[in-house]
Chains A and B, each alone.
Chain A
Amino acid sequence: MSTALSPAALAARRFLGNRLALAGAVFLTAAGVLALAAPLVAGHDPNAVDLAAFREPPSAAHLLGTDSTGRDVFARLLHAGRISLLVGLLSSLAALAVGTLLGALAGVFGGAVDAVVMRAADVVLSFPSLVVIVVLAGVLGPSTAMLVLVFAAGNWPTACRVVRGLTLSLREQEYVQAARAFGAGRAALIGRHVLPAVLSQVAVVGTLLVAQMILLEAVLSFLGLGVQPPRASWGTMLTDAQNLTLLQTMPWLWLPPGLAIALTVLAVNFVGDGLRDAVDPKGTRR
């Protein structure tokens, strides 16, 4: 290695060298593009009922067949992807934003602030999150915005703890102490030194959160507490197919959403793993 590479370029190289992570990233990009372009690609309205096309197997007209009210499964799959990915991304972003901010505050201020924030995080973590989420969903009433809110409320502590830990060690670093000695305020400390330094770790936490959130959305929608009919999400598509006749004879109704959930979650996890290895300067994997 004759030319010195920046840490970012090194990380990118390590990431691209990880085949699973790369495959995951490619899959997610494809899924994202398909979901975004759903109205153009699907060819059918996902909610258009057509009783003349009742539970039809896949054909040229309906690539993945039709469901129990004659709706096009392919169109529903793509539109469901929009909701699943959107909920996954938004709720993880919200959880990260809250968690990072609180974690940084706790780390920089220490003392009472630290105690309050971390005890709050412990409280949230000590509840079985799915149960709390189901209760909250029942109280607030089912809607997509509710899902994002509730998921974020239940998952900020992960990022918070990571960021607090990093901040505590950063605080003792010489360059941070130097900044403090020169009179830098705490806000500047967080904005200038803490946030840039923890960003890569937060990104790793974030990707793994996205996978969890997509699964959670599917679970809640499957239980009837998430996305409401007739809107499609992968979870509601599975609920609709939860019938012995459909399970035994009409796999086009449950295989596509099931595979979509499984593959997306796998892909996100691969990317997350890849990112973690890539940003770890002591990493041995290339």
Chain B
Amino acid sequence: MNRLSGALAVVLLGLAIGCSDPTNTPARVSPHDAINVYLYQKPKRFSPLDPPSGPDQQVMTLIFDNLLAVDDSYTFVPRLAERWEVAEDRITFHLRQGLKWSDGTPFTSRDVLFTYKLLADAESGSALAGRLAGAAFEAPDDTTFVIRPARPNVGFLSLVARPYAFILPEHVLGREPVDRIASSAFFNHPTVGLGPYTFVSYRTDQYVELAANPHYRKPVSIARIFLKPISSDVATAQLGTGEMDLAQISPTDLRTVAAFKGVTVAARPSPGFIRMAADLSDKRFADPRIRRAMLHAIDRKALVAQLLAGRGRVQNSSFVTPWALPGTLEEYAYDPARARSLLAEAGWNPAEKVTLSWIPGQRDRDAAATVVQSALGAAGMTVELKQVQAAELLESYEKRTFDLALYGGGSYAADPSSSATTINCAAFYPTGSNVSNYCDPSLDTLTAQADALTDREQRAKLYQEAARRDNAQVPYLWLYNPDTLWATSSRLRGFKPSGDFTTGFWNADEWTVAG
């Protein structure tokens, strides 16, 4: 039986992956100098102005660079800025000297100034405009850049560090009118950057091809990278055949992958989480009792135990930073009877149909969608599942045409102010990441007060108060915080696993290929 199923498995997977892959041995590059990397979803395009989207950001971390980034332990590390000083009213960045864009043009503080002015300008369609509103920027000399935030904000660095605010080339984009720059062709074909790799091409549904940047500040060892948006199942199978060098895998495949020769797996706790956003501008979801009922209806502990094979935690807050969380939070334990009674109390109409949209392709999320549908159905809420593409989902956020959207990610571990941008009244999508359109001015006051303080203890007190409110109001239907599992082939050396998959390629300039 086992041999038979093994043989059939090879045949079936051969069918599944055989047609997806023209890149394994490109003629011009010897396979020794190229690696294949998994993208968990299809990128749209590569614009720092666009609302954050995981796969776009993953590619941008390789072709663009930022003033600073976060490393695998969520501490800020220098990138374009060699060092920086945070004062009460300003942050001063001292840029590295002698850097060049990938086309050979020298990089100066003028590029940084150009980028930040663009990002802060709502006219440009920038999704960061809300975060940067009112801030002033200066470039006193070629290697110094100063930001004066509108109000004191200790958490400010986390708002502009990677994967946000990638620096753009002024000599390429400077002449484009601001109101039309968002639709510039450059963002589909961003061949000029400061990252360790340069953009070569994006073959939709196949791969993004990158080449080593000859003008990068140190030699880059890997000649080509092919980033492939494929399902986690296919990526896992390709790890086994040696066609994939770096992928995120599903916890339920751990044992299979561990049996692959030469493949190593590393697990890291994630700074983000999987959640559902309900469109709270839709009156049906306005009553917090409805949202509490939905949490009670879903057996999230079982989701973690089964779909994640225990590799994760149930999430009960929009905050992740440990010191911002109070000791106890309402856990919304699995209780279908309570869910039904809460729905009845809040006057939920069982005849209402709710659509749950998500981007398919990751095993845990796909299964979670099925479980959520069934669980909410049992509590008296009829849910229809809808698989969508990224562009369709983001458009539905903007037009507020979604009911429920299941998605994940986020980088909330370094500082709680990064979580605040998902619940602030001023951060409605696409200006910020507040997808659910949640608004509670008193919560905004708390987080603003906290960010004006430098003392960690006092900040923590205010943030914990905010977290309690957040926990009671349920602005998001938090599901779980999954560990990030990276699998690397024996060829790829120097990869340092981070729990944050969006910035997971943070040290790509140190990667090498063996053999």
State the A residues within 8 Å of B (CB): 47-49, 51-52, 54, 68-70, 224, 228-230, 242-245, 247-249, 251, 254-255
Contact = CB atoms under 8 A, between A and B. Distances in A.
Contacts of B12: 242, 247, 254
A245 B235 CA distance: 12
Nearest to B253: A245
Where chain A touches its partner, the secondary structure class is loop
B13 A68 contact: no
A230 B386 CA distance: 10
A276 B289 CA distance: 65
A255 B4 CA distance: 11
A49 B371 contact: yes
Given A243-B233, A244-B256, A251 B370 contact: no
A230 B302 contact: no
Nearest to B364: A68
Given A49-B370, A49-B375, A248-B5, A230 B385 contact: yes
B80 interface: no
Interface in B300-322: 302-303, 305-307
A244 B260 CA distance: 11
A51 B303 contact: yes
B266 interface: no
Contacts of B196: none
Lowest 9 A-B CB distances belong to which pairs? A247-B9, A49-B374, A51-B302, A54-B306, A245-B256, A243-B233, A251-B5, A244-B237, A245-B253
B252 interface: yes
A14 B12 CA distance: 39
B374 A245 contact: no
Contacts of B138: none
B374 A47 contact: yes
A245 B251 CA distance: 11
A251 B1 contact: yes
Nearest to A248: B9
A242 B306 contact: no
A247 B5 contact: yes
Among A70, A244, A247, A249, the one with the most B-chain Cβ atoms within 10 Å of its Cβ is A244
Given A69-B374, A229-B385, A51 B256 contact: no
12 contacts: A48-B374, A49-B370, A51-B299, A51-B307, A52-B302, A228-B385, A228-B387, A242-B12, A242-B233, A243-B250, A243-B363, A244-B13
Interface of B: 1, 5-6, 8-9, 12-13, 16, 233, 236-237, 240, 250, 252-253, 255-256, 299, 302-303, 305-307, 360, 363, 367, 369-371, 373-375, 385, 387
B306 A244 contact: no
Nearest to B260: A244
Nearest to B360: A224
Nearest to B252: A245
Contacts of B240: 244
Given A224-B387, A242-B12, 8 more contacts: A48-B374, A68-B252, A69-B371, A243-B233, A243-B253, A245-B252, A245-B253, A255-B5
A13 to B, nearest CB: 40
Given A69-B374, A229-B370, A251-B1, A242 B385 contact: no
A255 B303 CA distance: 26
Contacts of A249: 256
A115 to B, nearest CB: 39
Contacts of B233: 242-244
A249 to B, nearest CB: 8
Nearest to B334: A51
Nearest to A230: B370
A255 B240 CA distance: 22
A47 B383 CA distance: 13
Nearest to A228: B385
Contacts of B1: 251
Contacts of A49: 370-371, 374-375
Nearest to B239: A244
Contacts of B256: 244-245, 248-249
A51 B5 contact: no
A82 B75 CA distance: 56
A224 B389 CA distance: 12
A69 B367 contact: yes
B107 to A, nearest CB: 44
Contacts of B371: 49, 51, 69
A51 B375 CA distance: 11
Contacts of B387: 224, 228-229
A249 B252 CA distance: 12
Contacts of B363: 68, 243
